[in-house]
Structure 1
């Protein structure tokens, strides 16, 4: 990490194993789960849950284990229990397709209601779930919106071109690949230069786009930090380490 990026991000190891960084001046924690914790606003942000992706594939004859929604909600519930957020913002593509909500198990629907109880709960619209959210406003807890502002941060599903100070986005599912000791490892990752950030996909069945792909790398004028998710810590990777 170069000196300018280090000064902007002010990275520090958080007790949870994540990385504490500054994004457009807002203290945040890049969590091992792939969620972003905005400290001063007590807000938990997660991107791209893609609930019911397994059942969507099954409907097309591609059989995947039908447990992705439950596994994803387990992880979300663990984050909520650990942090007790005042607000939860789901950054778009929370559902995999327009019919996902109707395919959810009753227990998973009920759990969403329990998790949202007593806190602000916001669904941002994504390209996969805009129709699902529009047709299920009364069935879901919380509020559905397109974008929102949180302090100096602007939350949106899909990253926008050009300079976007404070933008927090998902959509691209960034993943980093490193090679060490003749072994290759590929992990979901955060990408940030301290001015904007792209979050990894939170869902259990989500793939990843190489962080060096132009769709991600082109968002940054200088080499950003890739923060790869490990089992119990987030690993800060300089751009030069990536393969």
Structure 2
């Protein structure tokens, strides 16, 4: 896997192809918009959607925990998709938390968390409201939060369209601006919103096992 190194606010960050950020100095993994239980909630409505998304997301987290020196995971909101998640979803999350009981886990409440409620106590999460400042960064769910620290946020599920002569490809992306960054959604069943790059922004697309910086041409 090919991470992309980026210096921001005086800190080294690794942008990971698993759609997360690793902050080496603080041994912290930063993840946005997992939406655990989303697929199961769709199935209860009779909508045929893929199974196994919770297991897939947890497996990716396991891989990152094994691959990097991680002591702390910060979830930037929308951890659970909605209220009353499936029993199977919660059992899988509880078993996963037991396997990683040594890790500190923080959830910054997002809009779906307000509806779903906080994770159950047995998951042993630190639950905070935005902005959660850990200098020089402010961990948020919404990118629009005003703070003096550099904002790392989610919510938007950004994707970027690369266009060629006869075809185009839409890929999840990281968006870094002057005062804030937006992470792609980590969840495997969360969709994406196609963004147009602003003049003060840098885009990093996630393509298979690599994170690639997009050049200065504005392909939207």
- TM-score relative to the length of structure 1: 0.83
Aligned to 2:210: 233
For the pair 1:17 / 2:2, whether they are aligned, the reply is yes
2: CA distance between counterparts of 1:155 and 1:194?
16
Question: Which moves more between the two structures, 191-200 or 105-114?
Answer: 105-114
| Distance in 2 between residues matched to 1:237 and 1:94, nearest whole Å | 29
Q: 1:67 aligns with which of 44, 52, 64?
A: 52
Say whether the 8 Å CA contact 2:41–2:86 is kept in structure 1.
no
Counterpart in 2 of 1:93?
Answer: 78
Residues 23, 29 of structure 2: 8 Å contact kept: yes
1:140 equivalent in structure 2: 123
Q: Which moved more, 1:97-106 or 1:76-85?
A: 97-106
Contact map agreement 2:138 2:147 (CA 8 A) in 1: no
Distance 1:239 1:208 in 2: 22
TM-score normalised to the size of structure 2? Answer: 0.91
User: For 1:158, what is the secondary structure of its paired residue?
Assistant: coil
Aligned residues: 219
> Within 5 A, what are the aligned runs for 1:126-205?
126-134=110-118, 136-147=119-130, 148-160=132-144, 165-193=149-177, 195-205=179-189
Instruction: Write out per-residue CA displacement over residues 104-132 of structure 1, whole angstroms, 9 at most, x where no aligned residue.
Output: 152342113323x1121111111112243
The answer as to 2:43 corresponding to 1:43 is no
User: RMSD of the TM alignment (CA)?
Assistant: 2.0
Q: Structure 1 pair 145/62, CA: closer, same or farther in 2 (3 Å)?
A: same
- The Cα of 1:84 is off from its aligned counterpart by 2.8
1:77 to 56, 62, 71: 62
Conserved? CA contact 1:125–1:133, under 8 Å? no
Alpha-carbon separation, structure 2, partners of 1:164 and 1:181: 43
CA distance in 1, matches of 2:90, 2:147: 42
> Could you say what secondary structure the match of 1:21 adopts?
strand
Alpha-carbon offset, residue 151 of structure 1: 2.1
Query: Which stretch shifts more, 92-101 or 54-63?
Result: 92-101
Contact conserved, 1:133 with 1:144, CA < 8 A, in 2? Answer: no
Post-superposition offset of 1:163? 7.6
Q: Which runs of 5+ in 2 are unaligned?
A: none
**1:54 paired to 2:31:** no
Distance 1:91 1:163, change over 3 A: closer
Distance 1:239 1:51 in 2: 35
Q: Any unmatched runs of 5+ in structure 1? A: 1-15
C-alpha deviation, 1:241, in angstroms = 4.1
SS in 1 for 2:187: coil
Identify if the C-alpha distance between structure 1 residues 133 and 113 changes in structure 2 by more than 3 Å, giving closer, same or farther: farther
Whole-angstrom distance in 2 between the partners of 1:231 and 1:20: 17
